Amino acid sequence: MTSNGDTDVDAKTSGDNASVDHVAIRVPPFWPEDPVLWFAQLERQFVTANVSADATKYAYVVGNLEAQYSREVRDILVNPPAAEKYATLKKAIIERLSASSHPDKPAIPAPIITTLGSFGAVSRLFGVHGLNGG
Protein backbone atom coordinates (compact mmCIF):
# COMPACT_ATOMS: atom_id res chain seq x y z
CA MET A 1 0.00 0.00 0.00
CA THR A 2 1.29 3.46 -0.83
CA SER A 3 0.24 6.80 0.54
CA ASN A 4 -0.93 9.45 -1.87
CA GLY A 5 -1.80 12.68 -0.07
CA ASP A 6 -5.02 12.15 1.83
CA THR A 7 -5.73 8.70 0.39
CA ASP A 8 -4.25 5.28 0.79
CA VAL A 9 -3.86 3.44 -2.47
CA ASP A 10 -3.43 -0.27 -3.12
CA ALA A 11 -1.76 -0.49 -6.51
CA LYS A 12 -0.67 -3.43 -8.60
CA THR A 13 1.92 -3.02 -11.27
CA SER A 14 2.55 -5.41 -14.08
CA GLY A 15 5.09 -4.24 -16.58
CA ASP A 16 4.24 -0.75 -17.76
CA ASN A 17 0.61 -0.91 -16.62
CA ALA A 18 -0.46 0.18 -13.14
CA SER A 19 -3.95 -0.27 -11.78
CA VAL A 20 -5.54 1.03 -8.63
CA ASP A 21 -7.58 -1.57 -6.78
CA HIS A 22 -8.73 0.46 -3.82
CA VAL A 23 -8.69 4.08 -2.68
CA ALA A 24 -9.58 4.65 0.97
CA ILE A 25 -10.75 8.12 1.89
CA ARG A 26 -9.85 9.96 5.05
CA VAL A 27 -13.02 11.38 6.51
CA PRO A 28 -12.60 14.77 8.21
CA PRO A 29 -13.66 14.92 11.87
CA PHE A 30 -17.39 15.60 12.15
CA TRP A 31 -18.27 19.26 12.70
CA PRO A 32 -21.60 19.53 14.54
CA GLU A 33 -21.39 23.34 14.25
CA ASP A 34 -21.56 23.14 10.45
CA PRO A 35 -22.76 19.77 9.16
CA VAL A 36 -23.45 21.24 5.71
CA LEU A 37 -19.77 22.12 5.28
CA TRP A 38 -18.70 18.73 6.69
CA PHE A 39 -20.86 16.92 4.13
CA ALA A 40 -19.50 19.14 1.33
CA GLN A 41 -15.95 18.12 2.22
CA LEU A 42 -16.91 14.48 2.69
CA GLU A 43 -18.64 14.39 -0.70
CA ARG A 44 -15.53 15.85 -2.33
CA GLN A 45 -13.61 12.92 -0.84
CA PHE A 46 -16.24 10.56 -2.30
CA VAL A 47 -15.68 12.05 -5.76
CA THR A 48 -11.91 11.80 -5.43
CA ALA A 49 -12.12 8.15 -4.37
CA ASN A 50 -14.87 7.35 -6.89
CA VAL A 51 -17.28 6.30 -4.13
CA SER A 52 -20.82 6.32 -5.49
CA ALA A 53 -22.64 3.43 -3.81
CA ASP A 54 -25.30 4.59 -1.37
CA ALA A 55 -24.46 1.87 1.17
CA THR A 56 -20.77 2.82 1.13
CA LYS A 57 -21.47 6.52 1.68
CA TYR A 58 -23.88 5.64 4.50
CA ALA A 59 -21.28 3.39 6.11
CA TYR A 60 -18.62 6.13 6.00
CA VAL A 61 -20.93 8.56 7.78
CA VAL A 62 -22.08 6.03 10.38
CA GLY A 63 -18.52 4.94 11.06
CA ASN A 64 -17.34 8.49 11.64
CA LEU A 65 -20.08 9.89 13.87
CA GLU A 66 -19.25 10.19 17.54
CA ALA A 67 -21.73 8.59 19.95
CA GLN A 68 -23.36 11.85 20.98
CA TYR A 69 -24.22 12.68 17.37
CA SER A 70 -25.23 9.13 16.53
CA ARG A 71 -27.85 9.39 19.27
CA GLU A 72 -29.36 12.38 17.45
CA VAL A 73 -30.11 10.13 14.46
CA ARG A 74 -30.60 6.87 16.38
CA ASP A 75 -33.92 6.14 14.68
CA ILE A 76 -32.25 6.04 11.26
CA LEU A 77 -29.20 4.08 12.43
CA VAL A 78 -31.32 1.43 14.16
CA ASN A 79 -33.85 1.18 11.33
CA PRO A 80 -32.27 2.48 8.10
CA PRO A 81 -34.49 2.92 5.05
CA ALA A 82 -34.30 0.32 2.30
CA ALA A 83 -33.22 2.94 -0.26
CA GLU A 84 -31.46 6.31 -0.11
CA LYS A 85 -29.82 5.56 3.24
CA TYR A 86 -27.10 8.16 2.77
CA ALA A 87 -29.44 10.95 1.65
CA THR A 88 -31.85 10.20 4.50
CA LEU A 89 -29.08 10.21 7.10
CA LYS A 90 -27.49 13.36 5.66
CA LYS A 91 -30.80 15.23 5.72
CA ALA A 92 -31.52 14.16 9.30
CA ILE A 93 -28.06 15.13 10.55
CA ILE A 94 -28.27 18.55 8.93
CA GLU A 95 -31.80 19.21 10.18
CA ARG A 96 -31.21 17.96 13.71
CA LEU A 97 -27.75 19.37 14.34
CA SER A 98 -27.76 22.71 12.52
CA ALA A 99 -27.86 25.67 14.89
CA SER A 100 -30.59 27.31 12.81
CA SER A 101 -32.93 24.40 13.49
CA HIS A 102 -32.47 24.78 17.26
CA PRO A 103 -33.84 28.15 18.40
CA ASP A 104 -32.58 27.52 21.93
CA LYS A 105 -28.97 27.36 20.68
CA PRO A 106 -27.16 30.62 19.88
CA ALA A 107 -26.52 31.24 16.19
CA ILE A 108 -22.99 32.39 17.04
CA PRO A 109 -21.10 30.03 19.34
CA ALA A 110 -20.40 31.53 22.78
CA PRO A 111 -16.60 31.11 22.54
CA ILE A 112 -16.54 33.40 19.52
CA ILE A 113 -18.56 36.08 21.30
CA THR A 114 -16.45 35.96 24.45
CA THR A 115 -13.17 36.12 22.54
CA LEU A 116 -14.22 39.21 20.61
CA GLY A 117 -13.82 41.22 23.78
CA SER A 118 -15.50 44.55 23.18
CA PHE A 119 -19.11 45.51 22.75
CA GLY A 120 -18.24 47.22 19.48
CA ALA A 121 -16.77 44.05 18.03
CA VAL A 122 -19.85 42.08 19.03
CA SER A 123 -22.10 44.76 17.54
CA ARG A 124 -20.17 44.66 14.26
CA LEU A 125 -20.40 40.88 14.19
CA PHE A 126 -24.14 40.97 14.70
CA GLY A 127 -24.48 43.62 12.00
CA VAL A 128 -22.41 41.62 9.51
CA HIS A 129 -24.56 38.55 10.07
CA GLY A 130 -27.83 40.46 9.88
CA LEU A 131 -28.59 39.76 13.53
CA ASN A 132 -29.09 43.37 14.58
CA GLY A 133 -32.85 43.17 14.14
CA GLY A 134 -32.93 45.84 11.46
Tens-place pLDDT, residues 46-76: 999 999 999 999 999 999 999 999 999 999 9
Per-residue pLDDT band at 24 (split at 50, 70, 90): confident
Q: Name the residue with higher pLDDT: 116 or 4.
A: 116
Per-residue pLDDT band at 129 (split at 50, 70, 90): low
Contact 97, 103 (CB under 8 A): no
Identify the pLDDT of residue 26.
87
pLDDT at 2 over 50: no
Spatial strand order in the sheet of 7-14 = 2-4, 7-14, 17-24
Identify the pLDDT of residue 4.
44
What is the average pLDDT score of the chain?
76
Identify the pLDDT of residue 3.
44
Per-residue pLDDT band at 85 (split at 50, 70, 90): very high
Per-residue pLDDT averaged across 73-100, rounded?
Answer: 93
CA distances from 35 to 10, 24, 30, 38, 123 (A): 30, 22, 7, 5, 26
Instruction: Name the residue type at position 113.
Output: I
Q: Name the residue with higher pLDDT: 131 or 29.
A: 29
Identify the pLDDT of residue 25.
87
What's this model's pTM, rounded to 2 decimal places? Answer: 0.60
